[in-house]
Amino acid sequence: MSPRMKGWLRWLAAFAALFAFGLVMFGAFVRLSNAGLSCPDWPTCYGQVTWPQHAQAVAHADASFPDRPYEAHKAWREQVHRFLAGTLGVMVLVLALLASWRRRRALAAVVAGAVFAAVGVGMYMHGEHLWSSALAACAIALPLFASLGLHRPGAWKISVFALAVIIFQAMLGMWTVTLLLKPVVVTSHLLGGMTTFGLLAWAALRFAGVGAADNGLASLRKLVVIGVVLLACQIALGGWTSANYAALACGYGPGSFPECLGQWMPATDFKQGFILWRGIGVNYEGGVLDLPARSAIQLVHRLGALVVFCYLAWLSFKASRQGLRGFGIAIAVTLVCQVLLGISNVHFGLPLPVATAHNGMAALLLFALLATLARTQRRAAVAADEPVRGD
C-alpha cells in the first residue's frame, strides 16, 4: 500500500472516530430528551425524508399516526441523529474500501455488503421485512468474514470489521423505534455506538503509529484489557439504568447519594430489575418497572461504578509507575470527571447537559484506556508493510 493511501487511512480513521464521538453525544441527547420515539417510522419521519414542517404535512402526520402526535421540537432531533449516523456509515464504508483496496475478495465482500444493506433498507420501507432481514444479515456477515480473512495488520482488519458493526448498529436503531424503546435494544444500541467509536479510535491510534518499540509493557497490557472489559460492563449497566428510567430511582438532592431514598437499604427487586426480555408490543417510554426494581438497577450501577473506580484508579497509578505517566493521568482525570458527573446527575435531578456529558465522558474514558492499550502494543506489528498483490 502506498504512503499516500496510508495517509488517507490515517486521517479518515481519525476524523471518523471524532465524528463517532460527536454522534455518541448527540445520541445521548436524543435519548435523554425523550425524543427516541418522536419519529414513529424508520428510516423516514412520519413518511418524510426530513420531518414535517408545514401545517398540511403536520396534519397528515397526526392523521397517519394518531397514537404518536407530532412534536416538532423532538422530531428534528431524532431525524438529524439518523442523518448523522448515515454520514458516519458512509465514512466507515470508505474506510473499509481503502483498508481492503487491492484485496479482491475482501473488497468484493465490502461492496456487496454495502449493496445488500442499501437494498435491505429499501425493501424494509416497502414492507418486505423478511427479505430485508435476510439482506441485512448478509450485509453484516460479508464484511465480518472479510475482516477475518484480510491479510493485513490489525488496524486494517478493524477498519473493515467496523463496517459490519455499523450496519448492525443501524438495525439496532430501527429496532429501537419498532420495538418501542425495549430496554435490551436501547442498551445494545448504546453499546453499539460505543463499540463503533472504540473501533475507529483504535484504528486511528494504530494508523497514527501509537505503539511501543518492544514487548516490555506486555504485563501492563493485560491489566488495561481488564480495565476495558470492566468499563464496557459498567457502560452496559449505565445503558440499562437509562433505558429503564432508573437514573433517579433513589431520588435526587439530599438523601439520594450515597444513600438511596434516604436509606442505606431501600426496598429492591433485583429479579424484576434485570429481566432482559419482556415480550413484544409494550411501549417502554417512561419505563414500566416499579420503584423497587428501578432502585435495584440504580444500586447495581453504583456498585459497578465503585468497582470500576477502584480498579482504574489503581491502573492509572500502575501505568504512571511503568513510564506512561501521561496516559495514567488521562485515565485518572477522565475517571474522576465521570464519577463527579454521575453524582451530579443524582444530586441535581438529571439535568440534560450533565446527563449528556456523562455519556460523553464515558467515551473519553474508553479512549484513554484504548490509547494506553495501543501504547503497550508493539508498533512494528502495525507499521510493517505488506504485499499489495491481490489475494
Please tell me which residue in 71, 78, 128, 285 is annotated as part of the active site: 78
d(C-alpha 349, C-alpha 147), whole Å? 44
What DSSP string describes 235-265?
HHHHHHHHHTT-TTTT-SSTTSSSSBTTBSS
d(C-alpha 340, C-alpha 331), whole Å? 14
CA dist 140 → 100, 166, 199, 386 (Å):
16, 9, 16, 26
Q: Is 259 a catalytic residue?
A: no
CA dist 216 → 211, 323, 328, 375 (Å):
11, 11, 17, 11
d(C-alpha 240, C-alpha 276), whole Å? 9
CB atoms within 10 A of CB 244: 23
d(C-alpha 228, C-alpha 369), whole Å? 7
What DSSP string describes 367-386?
HHHHHHHHHHSBTHHHH---
d(C-alpha 269, C-alpha 378), whole Å? 47
Which set of grid coordinates corresponds to residue 10?
Answer: 490515517
387: Cβ–Cβ under 8 A, 6 or more apart, which residues?
none
Q: Is 209 helix (H, G, I), strand (E, B) or coil?
A: coil
Residues annotated as catalytic (active site), given as ranges:
78
